[in-house]
Amino acid sequence: MFWRLFSFVLFQGVAAGIGWYVAIPGGKVVAALVLALTGGYVWLLVDVSRGVRLLRWLRDEMANPVALGNGLWSEVSDRVRRMARARERLTAESENRLQDFLAALQASPNGVVLLDSEGRIEWFNQTAAFHFGFDAQRDMLQHLGNLVRDPVFAAYFAARDFSHDVTIPGRDDSSTKPVRLSVHLHPYGEGRSLLLSRDITAVEQAEAMRRDFVANVSHEIRTPLTVLAGFIETLQSLPLDDLERQRYLGLMAQQAQRMQTLVNDLLTLSRLEGSPLPSVHEWVPVRALLSQCEQDARDLSRLLSEQAHDLHFEMLGDCEIAGSSTELHSAMSNLIGNAIRYTPAGRRIDVSWTLQPGGGGIFSVRDTGPGIAPEHISRLTERFYRVDRSRSRDTGGTGLGLAIVKHVTQRHGAELLISSVPGKGSTFSITFPASRVRRTFSEPLAA
């Protein structure tokens, strides 16, 4: 500011000096004053023009450089440039932080929706778009209540009590494939809201399965316990001859065996779910597995009926499977045992192992029983699911055999396939990948 005042005074002084020098002797003072005022006016015009250029430059948002020489306006322009560059850096840093924040929200496994104070959508991630069917081009700045019309959510949104979440159907919810979403609103800022959505379909299904599992186990164990308690009360309260006592004891042993089988199957399932995957370096001969399964099958057939089943075992391609011999035997014997239980005595059951041209292998059990209706096939591997509950109990089934088969199959990278024709029979096959099968050389297994 000092130099600005000094230049003004200097400019007037020089002008006054010129007037004093060129004026006639009698008018030097007047000439000096006139030129001093004129010089000040010229200096002011020059200064104002520089200020106008600076103002125009600012209005143009500093698009082009401006030359203002030295002095106040030049210093002002330099300071404005520095402030603008600092602001641009801060803006760029804020934009980068915002983009990083939005990228983090975009990567969230939960749906995220940002709402303004009026409940309009300001932003949402892809998960929320999938959950609610939002479209970025169509639904931005739309009111959330116009897009999510579920009555439960509408009441929740209108009540403004966001201390808890609500559960609503998802976009793709149907009777055959339910989809459930947990939705929770969190107020923030000046009336804004953050909506979080989470797909809890699997959680609800797991909870339903847990409840069903506990109920089924309780029911399955309570039935033989009731029978045992009745027989024990009979033995304690009534005088029985040896023949009657032996018959009651036999029925009690049968019910105890049923409970023991159920407990063993439950322990097997628990072990399968909690143990590491079977090794790919432990090789089990298929021939030994089939021989053991055949012996077990013939013993079970004789136990269940006086007339044994017509069992045929065939092995096409001698080889080994990488995995657990105990688990593989459990899966194979369960399939064969089911075929024996549900096939009438004397009927044919075919058990085969076939080596595939590509290197994989197929273990197959084909029976000539009553068959299974198509609507039941997809649920056969559920725990305790039975097509005919009364018949399953009569044959000693626990409802866990195919669940065990499914777990063993998945743990060995294989696939369980089921086909059936009502009235003609069923075929259960386990297809092992080539990575789990290797060929060996020996004589074929006799049928």
Burial track 350-374 (b if 16+ CB lie within 10 A, e otherwise): bbbbebeeeebbbbbbbbbbbbbee
Burial track 388-412 (b if 16+ CB lie within 10 A, e otherwise): eeeebbeeebbbbbbbbbbbbbebb
Measured CA to CA, the distance from residue 56 to residue 38 in angstroms comes to: 27
The alpha-helical segments, DSSP class H, found in 107-200 are 126-132, 136-139, 144-147, 151-159
CB 440, CB 325: distance < 8 Å:
no
Report pLDDT for 446.
Answer: 45
Task: Give the length of the chain.
Answer: 447
Contacts of 202 (CB under 8 A, 6+ apart): none
CB 331, CB 403: distance < 8 Å:
no
Fold of 109-199: Beta-Lactamase (3.30.450)
In this structure, whether the domain defined by 204-275 belongs to CATH 1.10.645.10 is answered with no
- Residue position matching structure tokens 């064969």: 336
10-residue block means of pLDDT along the chain (447 residues)?
Answer: 58 61 59 64 68 71 65 70 81 82 83 92 92 90 90 90 90 83 91 92 83 79 86 85 87 86 85 86 94 92 85 90 94 94 92 90 94 89 74 61 93 94 93 92 50
DSSP calls for 228-295 = HHHHHHHHHHS---HHHHHHHHHHHHHHHHHHHHHHHHHHHHHHHHHSPPPPSS-EEEHHHHHHHHHH
Report pLDDT for 177.
Answer: 82
151-156: which pairs have CB atoms within 8 A and are 24 or more residues apart? 153/183, 156/183, 156/185
Q: Where in the chain is the domain with CATH 1.10.287.130?
A: 204-275
End-to-end CA distance of the chain: 113
- On the CB side of 363, how many CA atoms lie within 13 Å of its CA? 26
DSSP letter, residue 67: -
Q: Where in the chain is the domain with CATH 3.30.565.10?
A: 276-447
Residue 294, Cα to own-chain centre: how many angstroms?
42
CA distances from 88 to 85, 94, 96, 360 (A): 5, 10, 12, 64
Fold of 276-447: Heat Shock Protein 90 (3.30.565)
- pTM for the full model? 0.57
